[in-house]
Amino acid sequence: MNKFIFGAKSTTPANARLTNGYTLYDWAMRQNCFPAFWARNISGENKITKEEIKFLQEKDCKIVPIFNDFTEEDIVKTNGANDAFKAIDNIKDLGIPEKNNIAVIVEIKDDWSVNHNWMISFAETLINNGYMPGFLGNTDSSLNFNFDRQCSHYVNAGLNAIYCASKPEILGEIGSWKPYAPSSLSPEDISLWQNKKLNLNGVEYYTVFAKDESILNYMW
């Protein structure tokens, strides 16, 4: 497991002060080790702020932009370009540089359906504007066959992406985990593995593992 790189994902700011006196970042560090990256949403009420960005940068912690400002009704449509431009506007407002191939991760809820044409048009818009698309979804095809089928259509379209697994839950050593992966992907194609959700007095965060250091190049 040592070859995997530890990070975290939360809707609560990493610099939020907890009831035990620690920041969420410091608590996650005490439970594991120094996070190499932190995934945070770039839109909505609890979106990452410039103050939090500065906090993470001072910790030498990479930032993973998460885009989740859509509904299931939106992503079963065929055109994701408008959603991509919305994500790009949010990124620019936060000062995240363009043209650096930074990955913007689309978070698709575990039981949601999605349309591969939405994925393709969303990704093409990001790529044309200098970003790398990414998809966080339920990669256990026994639990969500729609994501299996639609993600496989996306892969077969020949577009690059960062793939992140929210399911199945990881048991035991991460390196020995073998998911029911989408048909056109193998476990080796999954770059980020979302692990168990932790809760501290109502504050939740996920541990996330990157399979190797190369994925850090797509983080800010």
Q: Which domain holds residue 57?
A: 5-218
pLDDT of the residue at 176: 54
Q: What is the structure's pLDDT at 1?
A: 43
Q: What is the pLDDT of residues 49-76, one digit of tens each?
A: 999 999 999 999 999 999 999 999 999 9
User: Do 155 and 162 touch, CB atoms closer than 8 A?
Assistant: no
Is residue 111 over pLDDT 90? yes
- Report the C-alpha gap between 18 and 172 in whole angstroms: 29
**pLDDT for the residue numbered 187:** 80
Residue type, 177: W
* Run of H or E including 10: strand 5-10
Looking at residue 69, which CATH number applies to its domain?
Answer: 3.20.20.80
Whole-number pLDDT of residue 178: 61
With tokens 């065929």, the residue in question is 78
Task: Please state the domain count of the chain.
Answer: 1
Give the 3-state secondary structure percentages of the chain, helix then strand then coil, rounded to 5: 30, 25, 40
Predicted confidence (pLDDT) at residue 47 exceeds the cutoff of 90: yes
| Mean per-residue pLDDT of the chain | 90
